Amino acid sequence: MQGLFRVAVLPGDGIGPEVVAEAVKVLKAVEEVQGPLFLFQEGLIGGCAVDATAVPLPAETISICNNSHAILLGAVGGPQWDNKRPEVRPEQGLLQLRQRLGLYVNLRPAKVLDSLVGISSLKPDIVRGTDLVIVRELLGGIYFGNPRGIFARDGERIGINTEVYREHEIERVAHRAFQLARVRRNHVTSVDKANVLESSRLWREVVTRIGRSYPDVQLDHLYVDNCAMQLIEKPTRFDVILTSNMFGDILSDESAVLSGSIGLLPSASLGERYALYEPIHGSAPDIAGRKRANPVAAIACGAMMLRYSCRMEAAAQAIEAAIERVLKRGVRTADFPGRSRPVSTSRMGDLIAIEVKRILKSGQQATHPRKKR
C-alpha cells in the first residue's frame, strides 16, 4: 500500500459527533495492529456549519472532501434549524455534497444477525437469515427534477415536483447493482412503478438491457408496492434490490426495521472517484450528549469504507465480525428493548475496538466471508 488514506471526518449534528468518534476509534484500532493507515481531517456540515458559517456546506469542507479518499459522516439536522430558509437547511449540505462529488449510487445493507433475531419487529421464522442490499440511485428522479416548487395558479397554490431519469443515469447504477450481485448471491430485483410512470417504464427497459450483459445474475422486476409488501412477508427472498431515488429512500427505511434497530445499519454513497459513508439513522437530538446513542452503524460504516475505498477486505471483515461477537455476548446500547443496564456509546466502541484488535492479531477470518453463496 502506497501512502496513507486521507479521510474527511464530518461529525455533523446531534449524535453525529458521538458515533463518529467511535467509528474513528475502531479504525485506529485497525491501525494499532497494521500500522499507520489514515490521515483524519475534520470539517463542518449541516446545522453546526450553518451556525458557524451561515451555510450548510462551507468551502473549507468542500476542499477537505475533494482532497480525501473517503468521507465519514455522522448526521445532519435538528429542530433548531427547522425555520431556516430551504437553501440553508442542514440537509442541503448533504444533498449539495452528493451532487458536487458525483455520488450517484447509495448502498444500504440490511442484515439480521442471529444474536438479534428476537428483537426484530417480525417473527423470528420470517426474518431469520435476511441479508440484502438496497442499491438506490442517488442523483436523479423526483428529488432533483425540474420544474419544481410551489406556485400560484387560478387562485390557489399548487406544488410541483418532476420525476426525471436519463438513460445513462439508469445504466450506471444498474451496472453497480449487477456487479454487487456477482459477489453475493447472483440475484437482482429491480423495483419500479412501470404500470403507471413513464420514467419507470424507461427504468425497466434499460435495466433489462443491462441485465443481458450479466447472464450469470438472475433478474426479476417488482412494482414498488409489491416489493414493500414482500419485504415484510418474505425478506429472505431478496439479495440485491435496485431502485430509483425516492423508492430507494422509502424501501431502505422499511428494510432498516427488519434488523430491530436503525442504529445498526450503515450506508455508502459512491461515485466514480469519491465515496461517502454514513449511518442511516438521523441526528436524534433528543438523546444527543447523553451517551445513549448506538455507534454500531457508524462503526460499520468504517468497515464499508475499508472495503470499497481502501480495498482492505480482511480489515473490513474483522470489524464486522467484532460487531457480531460483541452483540452476541449480550452487550446492548439503550435503543435495544429489554435491557435494563445498557452500555454507553463509548463503551460499545471500546468493546468493538478491543475485539477488532484481537481478531486481526490472531489472523482469524470473519464469521461471514464475502463470497458467492
Residue 373 has pLDDT above 70, yes or no: no
Phi, psi at 118, each rounded to 5°: -75, -15
**Distance of alpha carbon 248 from alpha carbon 194, whole angstroms:** 15
Out of 131, 143, 291, 308, pick the active-site residue.
143
Whole-number mean pLDDT of the chain?
A: 93
**Tens digits of residue pLDDT in 176-189:** 999 999 999 999 99
How many CB atoms neighbour CB 111 within 10 A? Answer: 19
Out of 13, 25, 165, 193, pick the active-site residue.
193
User: Residues with Cβ < 8 Å from 40, sequence gap 6 or more?
Assistant: 7, 9, 24
Active site residue 125: no
Active site residue 214: no
Q: Which three cell numbers stand for residue 356?
A: 477488532
Out of 28, 253, 350, 357, pick the active-site residue.
253
Q: Which of helix, strand or coil describes residue 286? A: coil
Out of 51, 114, 220, 225, pick the active-site residue.
225
On the question of a cis peptide bond just before residue 147, with omega within 30 degrees of 0, the verdict is yes
pLDDT band at 372 (very low <50, low <70, confident <90, very high): very low
Active site residue 143: yes
Residue 285 has pLDDT above 50, yes or no: yes
Order of strands, sheet of 131-137, starting from the edge strand that comes earlier in the sequence: 38-42, 5-12, 70-75, 275-279, 266-270, 105-111, 131-137, 240-243, 187-192, 218-223
With CA atoms as reference, report the closest residue to 26 among 296, 316, 358, 349: 349
Q: What is the amino acid identity at position 336?
A: F
**Tens digits of residue pLDDT in 83-119:** 888 788 999 999 899 999 999 999 999 999 888 898 8
Q: Are 140 and 247 in contact (CB under 8 A)?
A: no
Q: Which of helix, strand or coil describes residue 74? A: strand
Q: What is the amino acid identity at position 19?
A: V
**Distance of alpha carbon 302 from alpha carbon 28, whole angstroms:** 10
pTM, two decimals, is 0.90
Active site residue 131: no
Tell me the domains of the chain and their CATH numbers: 1-106+263-373 (3.40.718.10), 121-259 (3.40.718.10)
Active site residue 13: no
With CA atoms as reference, report the closest residue to 122 among 256, 324, 262, 260: 260
